[in-house]
């Protein structure tokens, strides 16, 4: 017994020693940056220009015939009037009627171009909610240190900050070493198939191979969001989840509700949904999530740094903790969300048919086929028929972009220069962006908008009282200018 206790004690000491050594050797992966002298930005001018752009209700629609052509046409004219140097110097092409592709020719055509992406379109305002806005959603108001209006956050702020940065560089007669493209899609909010897809196809037909693409998707997260870290996080998206919706259909005999079978069609579908919610796809700390912790972990205070450095030991506990919150749980797994239910015509009539639609956001470690097989296995009911992609086209997760490229390093450096106390980390974008459409032109697709948001701010995107602070606009102009100064030079990554 004493010998067993002695061995157990020695084993415990050895484990503790390994944990402490690994924590001590958990080296920072943050790129070194030099002190940055902030660029002067005409803040009110930037805010007023963005506000003017928000007055065009460039709402996208799945049905192209429902698009407000005059709003998009007016927005195009507004950009031309607002940024005269850009429109005198850069070549501008209209793609598929409403998307825009700008080309700023570099001095060295042998260098791969860079592409900065944003989107023109916005989501609609929920019917009846316009009166709940502090300022009307399409009036583009500057007040209380913010620019208010639909599209202020998603994604016209990025678009205007890009143009502001280039207008300023042109005023100083800056000429890029490599070519720079600006790609502004007109239908990102409905998938980007008519906008970014066509721009990418056009570039591909011209033989373009891009150094990298940077689009929306990541952001700067306010200090204190992550326990053990009192600094901002510059979250740079290196991949985005896929998506598939699966309809669960049940057909049973109808009749009067006074003599029901043991399970109605509604009950059969409800049981299937419950089974799926109780058996989610497995969580994992690998791939994009592992990279996230590799970059974040060394910056955490002890003992959290020791936990992250020793995932071989604490991985299950870390997974359990992250699974308790929807936002972090979504980083770990393919998520399951029942979103639509249909069935029945009258309260005393047995429904003949019932349907539930379940949306899965697919982790890069999974696939559409794996999700469908999971649903078949978990539901396991011959009364349920599956229909895949009934309402929207399924899409696989995007490839994971490299974090060891010069491009990722330049984005991280620019972010850390503009936000000096920030930690730059790669992460998985949970939604979809236009970036994925450029996968044939480069493996280096990154997603980062240089704006700082807290939990309250994030709720406003696509919601009521969408707005962005004037301070964020200043940071945005500075970031895109710094990134162009860095990446438009001769280095662009492997």
pLDDT in tens, 220-251: 999 988 889 999 999 999 999 999 999 999 99
DSSP per-residue codes, 48-99: HHHHHHHTS--B--SSGGGS-HHHHHHHHHHHHHH-HHHHHHSEEEEETTTE
Distance CA 474, CA 469 (A): 9
State the pLDDT at residue 488: 87
CATH, domain range 240-388: 3.30.70.360
Reported confidence tier of residue 492, pLDDT bands at 50, 70, 90: very low
**pLDDT tens by residue, 104-156:** 999 999 999 999 999 999 999 998 898 999 999 999 999 999 999 999 999 99
Angle of CA points 439, 243, 233, to nearest 5°: 70
* Residues sharing a CB contact under 8 Å with residue 39, sequence separation 6 or more, in sequence order: 168, 477, 478, 481, 482
Distance between CA atoms of 230 and 265, rounded to whole angstroms? 52
Coil, helix or strand at residue 19: helix
CA dist., res. 397 & res. 403, Å (int): 17
Do 240-388 and 43-226+398-487 fall under one CATH topology? no
| 98 or 4, higher pLDDT | 98
Q: What share of the chain is helix, strand, coil (3-state, %, to 5)?
A: 40, 20, 40
Label the pairing between strands 219-221 and 452-453: parallel
Identify the DSSP state of 124.
P
- What positions carry a catalytic annotation? 121, 188
Identify whether the C-beta of residue 188 lies closer than 8 Å to the C-beta of residue 196: yes
pLDDT of residue 156: 98
pLDDT band at residue 392 under the 50/70/90 scheme: confident
Number of H helices, E strands in the chain: 15, 19
pLDDT digits (tens, 9 = 90+) for 298-343: 999 999 999 999 999 999 999 999 999 998 999 999 999 999 999 9
Reported as a pLDDT band with limits 50, 70 and 90, residue 494 is very low
Percent over 70 (pLDDT), the chain: 99
Backbone angles phi, psi at 208, to 5 degrees: -70, 135
Mean pLDDT value across residues 172-180: 95
The class level of CATH for 43-226+398-487 reads alpha beta
pTM: 0.94
Question: 480: how many CB neighbours lie within 10 A of its CB?
Answer: 24
Q: Rounded to an integer, what distance in angstroms lies between the CA atom of residue 288 and that of residue 365? A: 9
Predicted local distance difference test score (pLDDT) of residue 18: 86
pLDDT band at 493 (very low <50, low <70, confident <90, very high): very low
Mean residue pLDDT across the chain: 94
Predicted pLDDT at 454: 85
Domain boundaries along the sequence of the chain: 43-226+398-487, 240-388
Which residues sit opposite 445 in a β-bridge?
213
Judged against a pLDDT cut of 90, whether residue 372 lies above it is answered with yes
Which residue bears the tokens 């700082």? 452
- Beta-carbon contacts of residue 8 (< 8 Å; ≥ 6 apart): none
Contact 407, 176 (CB under 8 A): no
Per-residue pLDDT, averaged over 344-361, amounts to 96
Please tell me the distance from the alpha carbon of residue 399 to that of residue 242, in angstroms, as a whole number. 10
Closest CA to 120 of 139, 85, 95, 141: 95
Q: What is the pLDDT of residues 207-221, one digit of tens each?
A: 999 999 999 999 999
Average pLDDT value for residue range 360-373: 97
Q: Tokens 């990298």: give the residue.
A: 212
Q: Tell me, what's the pLDDT at 47? A: 98
Tokens of 44: 């009110």
């Amino acid at each position: 017994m004493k010998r067993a206790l002695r061995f157990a004690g020695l084993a415990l000491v050895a484990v503790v020693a390994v944990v402490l050594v690994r924590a001590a050797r958990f080296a920072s992966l943050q790129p070194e940056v030099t002190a940055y002298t902030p660029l002067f930005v005409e803040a009110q001018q930037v805010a007023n220009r963005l506000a003017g752009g928000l007055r065009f209700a460039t709402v996208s629609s799945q049905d192209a015939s429902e698009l407000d052509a005059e709003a998009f046409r007016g927005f195009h004219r507004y950009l031309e009037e607002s940024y005269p140097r850009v429109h005198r110097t850069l070549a501008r092409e209209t793609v598929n009627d409403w998307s825009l592709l700008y080309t700023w020719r570099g001095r060295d055509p042998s260098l791969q171009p860079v592409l900065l992406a944003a989107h023109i379109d916005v989501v609609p305002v929920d019917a009846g909610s316009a009166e709940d806005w502090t300022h009307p959603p399409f009036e583009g108001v500057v007040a209380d240190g913010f620019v208010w209006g639909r599209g202020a956050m998603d994604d016209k702020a990025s678009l205007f900050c890009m143009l502001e940065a280039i207008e300023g560089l042109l005023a100083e007669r800056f000429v890029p070493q490599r070519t720079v493209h600006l790609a502004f899609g007109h239908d990102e909010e409905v998938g980007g198939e008519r906008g970014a897809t066509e721009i990418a196809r056009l570039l591909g037909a011209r033989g373009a191979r891009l150094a990298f693409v940077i689009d929306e998707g990541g952001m700067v997260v306010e200090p204190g969001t992550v326990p053990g870290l009192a600094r901002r996080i510059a979250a740079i998206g290196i991949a985005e989840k896929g998506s598939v919706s699966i309809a669960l259909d049940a057909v049973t005999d109808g009749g009067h509700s006074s003599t029901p079978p043991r399970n109605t069609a509604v009950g059969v579908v409800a049981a299937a949904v419950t089974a799926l919610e109780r058996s989610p796809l497995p969580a994992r700390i690998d791939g994009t999530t592992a990279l996230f912790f590799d970059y974040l972990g060394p910056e955490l205070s002890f003992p959290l740094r020791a936990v992250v450095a020793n995932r071989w030991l604490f991985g299950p506990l870390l997974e359990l903790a992250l699974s308790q919150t929807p936002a972090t749980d979504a980083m770990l797994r393919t998520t399951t969300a029942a979103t639509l239910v249909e069935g029945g015509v009258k309260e005393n009539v047995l429904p003949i048919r019932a349907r539930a639609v379940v949306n899965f956001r697919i982790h890069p470690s999974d696939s559409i086929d794996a999700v469908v097989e999971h649903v078949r296995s978990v539901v396991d009911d011959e009364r349920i028929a599956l229909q895949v992609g009934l309402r929207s086209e399924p899409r696989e997760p995007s490839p994971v972009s490299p974090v060891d490229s010069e491009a990722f390093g330049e984005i991280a450096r620019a972010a850390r220069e503009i936000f000096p106390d920030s930690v730059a980390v790669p992460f998985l974008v949970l939604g979809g962006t236009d970036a994925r459409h450029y996968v044939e032109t480069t493996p280096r697709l990154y997603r980062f908008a240089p704006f700082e948001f807290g939990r309250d701010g994030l709720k406003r995107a696509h919601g009521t009282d969408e707005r962005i602070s004037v301070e964020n606009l200043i940071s945005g102009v500075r970031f895109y200018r710094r990134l162009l100064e860095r990446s438009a030079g001769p280095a662009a990554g492997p």
